[in-house]
Structure 1
Amino acid sequence: MGIKIFLPLLFTLFYSIGQAQSVIKIGLIADPQYADKDTRGSRFYRNSLDKLDSAVSAINREEVDFTVMLGDLVDAGPKDLAPTLLRLEKLKEPVYNILGNHDYVDVEDGAHLYKSYKMPNPYYAVEKGEWLFILLNTNELAEYSTRAGSGQREAWKNLNDVLKTEKRSNDQPWNGGISITQLKWMEKQLRKAQSASKKVIVFTHHPLYPENGLEALNNREILTLIEKYSVVKAVISGHHHPGNFASYKGIPMITLEGMIETSDENAYGVLELDEHQLDLHGEGRMTSRKIDF
């Protein structure tokens, strides 16, 4: 083979390898809501353990870089947590949890709940390659997550009073919001990502958009911040079990279907990210989506 032919082929080979290495794969699970209690309506609480087993096995086969569990791992608080964590521990790669409103049931001090879920902090960020993943805690300001008389309970009350005055439909006991401190932390992360030319995915339990009564209490403040940074490529959430999708000023807002629903049909997925595209491969009830950036 002549040198003039060999060099372009060599360049193409190395370019292809570089492209393959740039793909990030992420397992996605939302709202298993396991509990050792009888079925109610469309929620089959005990069945979630078998569903988690199936999802973990499938995600392991996909050789993901990590998995994100988007909240409500359990239905009635940490008393049912042990068997669910046992399933997640079978994942070959790290699992990053975020908290949902059901995770706080019968919790005396919500500020320290994250430790039970093997999380580094109540909200945190994960870097991988050219990506930054921001995992928010949209339960920070909620009646169910704060102590009576605390500053955060007062902040929640003030926020909720504003929503009532504005006649918003999301002033519900199962919704929460984020503090000014968390909002400032998020902006710091976005600035860092923008300076480093990293792309960002934001994960939340409560959706930010569309507004259907299940969105985070101060979703509009969070969205106002997000829209300032073009590095944000998508927001992925749980909480709304039927799933949902909308575009907010060009940013995809994906709500994942909840695993708890139906007796035997599962809901989980694998997200593939490269420089130009988001490709969500949904299994069972989880919707597959392919979105160009």
Structure 2
Amino acid sequence: MVKTNCYSLLICLLLLVHGMAKGQEPIVRFGVIADIQYADKDDHGSRYYRNSLEKMDSCIVNLNQEKLAFNVVFGDLVDQGPKDLSPVMEHLKKLKAPYRNVLGNHDYVNVSDREMLYKQFDMPAPYYAFEKASWMFIVLNTNEVSEYGSKAGSSFQKEWQDLAAGLKKEGRKNVLPWNGGISSLQLIWLENQLKKAQKTKKNVLVFSHHPLFPETGYEALNNREILNIVEKYPNVKGLVSGHHHAGNFAYYHKLPSITLEGMIETSKENAYGVIELYPNKIVLTGRGRMTSRTLNF
């Protein structure tokens, strides 16, 4: 009887340990890269434009050793628009896991057909959403309403002019030539995606080039409008962006906002990472200059 009870207890313990271990497995793992900003031009300050291809080589070798569902590049793949895009895209095609791109302000340099720019970056649309397991990932285009991203005479340009004028009156510090925001149409689309995710019981991460928070002058022009929508949905678990090469982090209320360090900075030190999504936390493991973080929710 004693032996039987001990055996049963051992089985229970093994099942418990197995269950705990299984619960600690990430639901989704994906690679993150921000601000490659490659250009065939000489270095300037802390930006080493040509070195980005060498950094991509080592980054891709490392990411290909990981079991990833996909990879995300958070904008500014190039420094001076699509004329330098070809070698960057050739590098991204070496990734074993699919890549998802986000448009950044430098990607718009010397672009005439702004509405179709996304096609050159192998994106399904200027802004889009995709799902993996129990998660939805929403990719915003925070260049849509901007001085550089809006076509002359378009409704987007009018929205930018009105938005910029209002922000200047408020004394905001983010009305700068390299910052942009999203249109009223994209705001509606964003809320519809969040409603869909809520209905299907999916957690959400929101991706953008310009940070939504904190407000340091690098944030999207209408970040407050975006945040007002996002915070209504408790299934949104985090915001991830690029643009500010030094990186940053803050909580908007209880919502973590991660700004990833840019690959372009420094001559040799890289910056990329892997994000793991668990049932109760987000874990970012940074490589090189990218900061590692564990965010419980």
Structure 1 segment 90-105 matched on structure 2, within 5 A: 90-105=94-109
**For residue 218 of structure 1, what is the aligned residue in structure 2?**
222
How far is 1:150 from its partner? 1.1
Instruction: For 1:259 and 1:183, locate their aligned partners in 2 and report how far apart those are by CA, in whole Å.
Output: 29
Q: Distance in 2 between matches of 1:60 and 1:95?
A: 12
Q: Is the 8 A contact 1:269 1:286 kept in 2?
A: yes
**Counterparts of residues 45-194 of structure 1 (less than 5 Å):** 45-194=49-198
Could you say if the C-alpha distance between residues 22 and 260 of structure 1 is closer, same or farther in structure 2, counting changes exceeding 3 Å? closer
Deviations 1:47-86, CA, capped at 9 Å, x for gaps: 0000111111111111211001000000000000000000
The match for 2:248 is 244
Within 1, Cα distance between the matches of 2:119 and 2:243? 21
Moved over 6 A (4+): none
How far off is 1:22 after superposition?
A: 4.8
Any idea what SS the aligned residue of 1:137 has? coil
Partner residue, 1:266: 270
Structure-1 residue corresponding to 2:41: 37
Structure 1 contact 109–145 (Cα < 8 Å) conserved? no
Taking only aligned residues, the RMSD between alpha carbons, in angstroms, comes to 1.7
- Unaligned runs of 5+ residues in structure 2 are none
* Stretches of structure 1 lacking an aligned partner (at least 5 in a row): none
CA distance in structure 1 between the aligned counterparts of 2:179 and 2:26, rounded to whole angstroms: 36
Count of residues in correspondence between the two structures: 293
Shift of the alpha carbon at 1:206? 0.2
The CA distance in 1 between the partners of 2:201 and 2:9, in whole Å, is 35
Write out per-residue CA displacement over residues 262-290 of structure 1, whole angstroms, 9 at most, x where no aligned residue. Answer: 00000000001110111100011000001
TM-superposed CA distance for 1:8, in Å, is 4.2
Q: Distance in 2 between matches of 1:17 and 1:278?
A: 17
Q: What TM-score, normalized to structure 2?
A: 0.94
Contact residue 80 and residue 110 of structure 2 kept, 8 A: yes
SS in 1 for 2:172: coil
Residue pair 1:109, 1:146 contacting (<8 A) in 2 also: no
State whether residues 31 and 70 of structure 2, in contact with CA within 8 Å, keep that contact through their aligned partners in structure 1. Answer: yes
* Kept in 2: contact 1:34–1:260 (CA 8 A): yes
For 1:8 and 1:184, the matched residues in 2 are separated by 51
Describe the SS at the equivalent of 1:143: coil
Name the amino acid aligned to 1:219. Answer: N
- After superposition, the C-alpha distances for 1:161-210 in whole angstroms (9 at most, x for unaligned) are 11111111100010000011111111111111112221111111000111
